[in-house]
Amino acid sequence: MAPTPSHRMEAVELVEEDLPTSPTTVGGRKGGQTARPSAEEPPPGSEAPPGAARRGVARAVRRWWPIALPLVLVVAAGSAVSAQRERARADRVAAVPGMVRPLDGAPSELWRVPAGPGDQVVAAGGGVAVVGDRQGVWRVTAVDARTGDERWSTRLTRVASVAVEAGAVVCPGGADVGELLVCLVRAPAPVYADALAAAPGAARIVALDSADGTVAGEWAVGDAVVSVARRGDDVVLVTEDPDGIVHAARHDALTGATRWSYEARQAVGSDGYVDVASAEATGEHLLLGGYGTAVLDLDDGAELFWARYLSFVLTRSDSERFGTWSASRGGALHGASGRKLRDLPALPVRPAVDDGTADDVVVLDTGRELSAAGAYTGTPLWTLDTDLEVALVVAGHLVLAAPGRQMSVDAHTGEVAWDVATRAGAFALVSDGALVLTAEPGADGAPVLTARGVEDGVEYWSRPLPAGTSSLVVEGGALLARTAHELVALG
């Protein structure tokens, strides 16, 4: 008879939820059968073994993960959306000419590059281009906005030893100009005893690719150039022909193809007075003077307003509207079509740095008083006695400044948010949309950058500027300090 084994191996399936949570004794079943665990709970005050604790956590995770995972995803998605909104806001602020990309705190030095006092700075394609005389050559050198590493350098023209004036190259900027860096290159004219008799130098437009500095387009300009400005990928040129007639035109920057053109009604000095043509391009308008006064729509060149020569009419753009004023005619506010909306006692106030948050208000400065009215209704809103000048329009506030003093006023209510004494000798005032940044002498006379809240006037921080800083430059949202021989990026 074959021997009988004392036990037999059997397949056993373990289900984790059925595993014991306390020690048990095997032996309740014989003949190879598995013993049942005891149903008793551990005595009060006793601790479950580590394995049991881990199994309890595992059961909780399996039970609750269908709820926890969606919550985690919702939180992550919310954080991503919030970050995306912050980036979009920062991009909007940086796109306003003269506005600094929002700062996370007191800025530190990022990099520095050589730059002379007369060099131009233009933001282009996410980089910073410096335009200036380099060893007798007008050169454009682009650097990375984050590191200061050189991207490319392009020669434009020779610097002549004799010229009517410095600045033979002009590359208009403000906000980041994008894929094309466009420059007006003028050949210098000789100096004569009578400066008015100096022949204008030949000029051409050169469009550089912002990525590598190669010449993407180039074309000649026939008449003497009064001014050049950018409008998207186009160039707005104001010129004066040999007969003293002023012309304005919008051209394709690459080819010179004309989008629209305008010819003045009178020649400069046609009434026997010696005068010079003037031009100013704003966000929506081209303001012309010297032969009379005209306001043109930058988009299509339409003449929105005209006054004859010697009528002494002043103009000022105010968002899509514009104001006019003269001693004989008084003031008026005109709509986008040029139609007169109503009379004004003075010209609208519109500083160079304006984020557009008060476009529904017309602010007037009569000398010793600021006042505001609804832009569309004309309803008077407020009046404030002050001799401070409006320096910035930021976050719905007017930031006023004078030597030794700053003030912030709600543009819609006239309520003074704050009024503080500042150090004498402040030489620059900019903003990142939430802070007013003032470059001023510190206690020891060295330049410092002080940040105050636009809405509360609280001084959040003050940090030293690079030694020898004489001014601040803001291009494409980048904050740059100028010294005698360098350009220093802060961020």
Give me the tens of pLDDT residue by residue for the chain, a chain 491 residues long.
444 444 444 444 444 444 444 444 434 443 444 444 444 444 554 444 555 555 555 565 456 556 656 666 666 666 676 778 888 989 899 999 999 999 999 999 999 999 998 899 999 999 999 999 998 889 999 999 999 999 999 999 887 665 444 448 999 988 899 999 999 998 765 555 444 444 455 799 999 999 999 999 999 998 889 999 999 999 999 999 988 899 999 999 999 999 999 999 888 765 555 467 889 999 899 999 877 899 999 999 999 999 987 677 889 888 889 999 998 888 999 999 999 999 999 999 989 899 999 999 999 998 889 999 999 899 999 999 999 999 999 999 999 999 999 999 999 999 999 999 988 888 899 999 999 999 999 888 899 999 999 999 999 999 999 999 999 999 999 999 999 999 999 99
Q: What share of the chain is helix, strand, coil (3-state, %, to 5)?
A: 10, 45, 45
293 burial (CB, 10 Å; 0-12 / 13-18 / 19+) is buried
Per-residue confidence (pLDDT) for residue 82, from 0 to 100: 72
Candidates 465, 466, 487; CA nearest to 478 is: 487
Residue 381 lies in a domain: yes
CA distance 286 to 260: 13
- For residue 294, give the amino acid letter: A
CA distance 483 to 465: 10
The enclosing H or E element of 301 equals none
CA distance 218 to 260: 19
Residue 171 lies in a domain: no
Joined together, the tokens standing for residue 73 give 């995803």
Joined together, the tokens standing for residue 397 give 């506030």
Residue 328 lies in a domain: no
pTM above 0.85, yes or no: no
Per-residue confidence (pLDDT) for residue 108, from 0 to 100: 96
CA distance 410 to 372: 11
Joined together, the tokens standing for residue 148 give 């200061």
Coil/strand/helix, residue 424 = coil
Q: What is the domain-level CATH number for residue 445?
A: 2.40.128.630
Per-residue confidence (pLDDT) for residue 51, from 0 to 100: 55
Q: Cα–chain-centroid distance for residue 330? A: 35
CA angle 316, 322, 326 (to 5 degrees): 55
Contacts 24+ apart (CB under 8 A), 270-275: 270/244, 270/309, 271/309, 271/310, 273/309, 273/310, 274/196, 275/309
Candidates 182, 148, 314; CA nearest to 255 is: 182
Residue 343: partners with Cβ closer than 8 Å, 6 or more residues away: 330, 331, 332, 333
pLDDT digits (tens, 9 = 90+) for 279-297: 999 989 999 987 789 999 9
Residue 118 lies in a domain: no
Contact 384, 372 (CB under 8 A): no
Residue 414 lies in a domain: yes
Per-residue confidence (pLDDT) for residue 136, from 0 to 100: 86
Residue 455: partners with Cβ closer than 8 Å, 6 or more residues away: 395, 397, 408, 417
Per-residue confidence (pLDDT) for residue 469, from 0 to 100: 95
Per-residue confidence (pLDDT) for residue 162, from 0 to 100: 52
Residue 91 lies in a domain: yes
Residue 223 lies in a domain: no
Joined together, the tokens standing for residue 229 give 């400005």
Give bridge partners of residue 182 from the DSSP assignment. 207
Give bridge partners of residue 150 from the DSSP assignment. 143
Per-residue confidence (pLDDT) for residue 72, from 0 to 100: 62
Contact 399, 408 (CB under 8 A): yes
| Distance between start and end Cα atoms, the chain | 94
Q: Indicate the number of domains in the chain.
A: 1
Residue 411 lies in a domain: yes
Per-residue confidence (pLDDT) for residue 70, from 0 to 100: 66
Per-residue confidence (pLDDT) for residue 222, from 0 to 100: 85
Domain that holds residue 373: 86-102+358-394+396-491
Candidates 42, 7, 4, 44; CA nearest to 22 is: 42
Candidates 355, 356, 429, 358; CA nearest to 388 is: 429
Alpha-carbon separation of residue 102 from 36, 99, 170, 477 (angstroms): 69, 9, 28, 8
CA distance 433 to 451: 12
Residue 211: partners with Cβ closer than 8 Å, 6 or more residues away: 125, 151, 179
Per-residue confidence (pLDDT) for residue 217, from 0 to 100: 96
Candidates 215, 194, 190; CA nearest to 205 is: 215
Where do runs of H (alpha helix) occur along 185-271? none
The enclosing H or E element of 394 equals strand 389-394
- Specify the residue for token string 């095997």: 26
CB atoms within 10 A of CB 133: 16
